[in-house]
Amino acid sequence: MEKTDKELAVEFTIQCIQSWNSAERTTPIKPDEAINFLKDTYAALSQLGLTK
């Protein structure tokens, strides 16, 4: 089953946040930054029109 833009955006955001937070000398991502990142990722995926 093909994933929706929302599902892809959530999965991508989770992976990016985990990667960022595990890197040395970085501060954890703030909740508002995570929300904005998710919104931007979803918007970009939606504009690409790769999913049905």
Q: What is the pTM of this model?
A: 0.81
How many whole angstroms separate alpha carbon 25 and alpha carbon 6?
A: 30
Taking all residues of the chain, what is their mean pLDDT, rounded to a whole number? 91
Mean pLDDT of the region 18-40: 93
- Each residue's pLDDT tens digit, 3-16: 999 999 999 999 99
More confident residue, 52 or 24: 24
pLDDT over 70, % of the chain: 98
* Residue span of the structural domain in which 25 resides: 5-48
pLDDT for residue 51 is more than 80:
no
Number of domains in the chain: 1
